[in-house]
Structure 1
């Protein structure tokens, strides 16, 4: 139930995030639906590819596809000011990252993959859809900016991979903590160290 709940939360959040970005860059209605769906399901598809899960499992999530389509349709109908507000605060992207990071780690752990694979699964499930979204929207992927983003998914995967989390309450707690850390880091502009050859004379 935890896995299904987080899967639903992540799908809705990332479908909305993808649709908001598509509206922001002036895509047509087909582009909005495509970007919303890719954001919602892209990370899980890439994860399955890397950990050896048949891609056909993606197409067996009919209910989630319907939920995503409904979510995207609702975003299209939102007032312009609301879309701008959602774009500014980026809350749905943070929710999707946190939910899918925990869900991805749980998935890898359930098939008894090693720690590194669990952490990778958390990272790619949480951030993969967003990376594809940003590339298709011709934006610099948020994951590769100095802002703290992917690190929170990695830490969630590590905690789960170490088997420090075993109960429903604890899994949801990891989700809430990951979301809170991402929201705080975004709010206060926390960043990771950078090094650029462009700054070297």
Structure 2
């Protein structure tokens, strides 16, 4: 049950995120739907390829595809209801998608009896893969590759699940809330990872 709920939350959040980014870049209706779908399912597709799940498994998620299409349609038909609040809620929506999909990806790897390292990779790819594809298709620098802390929270969720510290639905929902809070704090307080530039000052 926890897995299904997290999948739905992540799908809605990322589908909306992708659709709004497409509209910000002034894509047509086809581009809005493509970017929304790719954002919602791109991370899961990459994860499946790397941990040995058949790609065809992606097409078995008919209900989630319908949920994503409805979410994208709502954004496209009533953009003002979301766009006027997007600067406030956009990052929050992304945090929800990151956390929900990271946990879902980690659970997927655990159910396939993969080691902790693979569970962490699955969490990171599922949580941030769709966002990376979205940003690349929109001509933006992928958020996950910037100094802002993003994928670290997905990796943390993967580690906790891989170590068996969160298995029951209640603990999974608690982990979800903690990851969302950490992600929100990281952009509210401008937490960043160390970086170094090799550009010349001259």
Moved more, 36-45 or 186-195: 186-195
1:27-55 deviation line (CA, Å, top 9, x unaligned): 11100000000000000000000001000
Cα distance 1:57–1:198, how it changes in 2: closer, same or farther (>3 A)? same
Question: In structure 2, how many angstroms separate the alpha carbons of the residues matched to 1:170 and 1:190?
Answer: 26
Contact 2:75-2:82 within 8 A present in 1 as well: no
1:126-150 deviation line (CA, Å, top 9, x unaligned): 0000000000000000001111111
Cα distance 1:144–1:84, how it changes in 2: closer, same or farther (>3 A)? farther
Give the 4+ runs in structure 1 shifted more than 6 A: none
Partner of 1:63: 63
Question: In structure 2, how many angstroms separate the alpha carbons of the residues matched to 1:159 and 1:19?
Answer: 31
1:88-108 deviation line (CA, Å, top 9, x unaligned): 542211110000000100110
User: What displacement does 1:16 show?
Assistant: 0.4
TM-score (norm 2): 0.96
CA RMSD of aligned residues (A): 1.3
Residues 87-126 of structure 1 mapped to structure 2, 5 A cutoff: 87-89=87-89, 90-126=91-127
Q: Which runs of 5+ in 2 are unaligned?
A: none
TM-score (norm 1): 0.96
Partner of 1:180: 181
Question: In structure 2, how many angstroms separate the alpha carbons of the residues matched to 1:83 and 1:41?
Answer: 23
Cα distance 1:18–1:79, how it changes in 2: closer, same or farther (>3 A)? closer
Q: Which runs of 5+ in 1 are unaligned?
A: none
